[in-house]
């Protein structure tokens, strides 16, 4: 968004509301937060993520990239955004059902996030047209909401990322619609187990590879596969930050975990092959063999003695 609309103009997000009734307050809050952050870090307006991180004294190297170590104040800001994400997903539980169009779920997500004075990070991100990602059955991630109505037997992932006062909180959750097959139900359960095991591997001195290894061993040991191309990621100050958090890996490999790191763990577990295909819309990732896929996601912070699940 290069220029804000006038107060009485239609909001840039496409909600149909006047700008003053929709994104005005959130945009102002984000601008103030960004100005404060730039002043604190000594970064010029419009600085890139790399420049912002380089300006901090607490960034840790990882290859040619930098991992941003958050301050306690920043983690509290990320926690507030993360708790909003959790509240939104709690509300989706009451909406998901047979005959409900995914576009209607997305509209509810958008209205709930903006009513809280936040911004849906996905809307307009690299051209993405919605305030949430809604992925059904063989869709691994980045499903675009539309007129497709939910049917009995569907398994559905809803992924939301509010920006609240300049901070990001990222989470997704699986929902079961009507009478779901035992095969689908078990896949959803295993995907949740994988998330829990990945979180349990987070502690100072461990590595990103330890997280991926815990997930991979569990999933593959039960006959499922783990998507390679999509990963978790650093989050909080920007939507996507270093490090990438692969859901497969070797113990002791990859970036070492230190207190203040904040990232997502979001394993995508498939009933068939781990390979994916991107559809013609440029976003929707589906399993190559059209087998079922399930995903859960939390935003976590590394603490001095373990892990803090910010979106729990």
Token pair, residue 31, equals 């601008």
What is the per-residue pLDDT for 23? 56
**CA dist., res. 171 & res. 212, Å (int):** 18
> 267: closest CA among 252, 245, 236, 284?
245
| DSSP of 71-103 | PHHHHHHHHHHHHHHHHHHHHHHHH--TT-BHH
Domain annotation for the chain: domains and CATH numbers: 1-48 (no CATH), 66-309 (3.90.230.10)
Q: What is the pLDDT of residue 8?
A: 73
**Predicted pLDDT at 65:** 54
Predicted local confidence at residue 187, as pLDDT = 98
Question: Could you tell me if 161 and 190 are in contact, meaning their C-beta atoms sit under 8 angstroms apart?
Answer: no
Strand order, beta sheet including 162-164: 119-120, 162-164, 167-168
Determine the pLDDT at residue 24. Answer: 61
Mean pLDDT, consecutive 10-residue stretches, the chain (312 aa), reads 61 61 55 38 33 41 69 97 98 97 98 98 97 98 98 98 98 98 98 98 97 98 98 97 97 96 98 97 97 98 97 97
């Amino acid at each position: 968004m290069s220029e804000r609309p006038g107060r009485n103009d239609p909001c840039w997000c496409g909600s149909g509301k006047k700008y003053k009734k929709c994104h005005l307050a959130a945009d102002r809050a984000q601008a103030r937060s960004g100005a404060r952050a730039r002043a604190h870090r000594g970064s010029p307006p419009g600085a890139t993520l790399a420049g912002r991180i380089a300006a901090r004294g607490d960034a840790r190297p990882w290859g040619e990239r930098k991992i941003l170590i958050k301050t306690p104040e920043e983690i509290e800001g990320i926690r507030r955004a993360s708790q909003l994400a959790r509240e939104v997903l709690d509300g989706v539980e009451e909406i998901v059902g047979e005959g409900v169009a995914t576009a209607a779920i997305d509209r509810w997500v958008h209205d709930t996030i903006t009513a809280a004075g936040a911004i849906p990070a996905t809307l307009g991100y690299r051209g993405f047209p919605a305030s949430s990602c809604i992925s059904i059955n063989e869709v691994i991630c980045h499903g675009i909401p539309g007129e497709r109505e939910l049917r009995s037997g569907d398994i559905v992932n809803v992924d939301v990322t509010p920006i609240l006062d300049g901070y990001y909180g990222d989470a997704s959750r699986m929902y079961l619609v009507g009478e779901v097959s035992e095969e689908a139900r078990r896949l959803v359960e295993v995907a949740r187990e994988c998330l829990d095991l990945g979180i349990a591997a987070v502690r100072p001195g461990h590595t990103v590879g330890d997280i991926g290894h815990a997930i991979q061993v569990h999933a593959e040991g039960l006959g499922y596969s783990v998507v390679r191309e999509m990963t978790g990621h650093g989050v909080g100050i920007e939507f996507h930050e270093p490090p990438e958090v692969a859901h497969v890996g070797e113990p002791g490999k990859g970036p070492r975990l230190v207190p203040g790191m904040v990232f997502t763990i979001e394993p995508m577990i498939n009933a068939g092959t781990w390979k994916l295909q991107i559809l013609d819309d440029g976003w929707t990732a589906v399993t190559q063999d059209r087998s079922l896929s399930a995903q859960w996601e939390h935003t976590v912070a590394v603490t001095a003695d373990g892990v803090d699940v910010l979106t729990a």
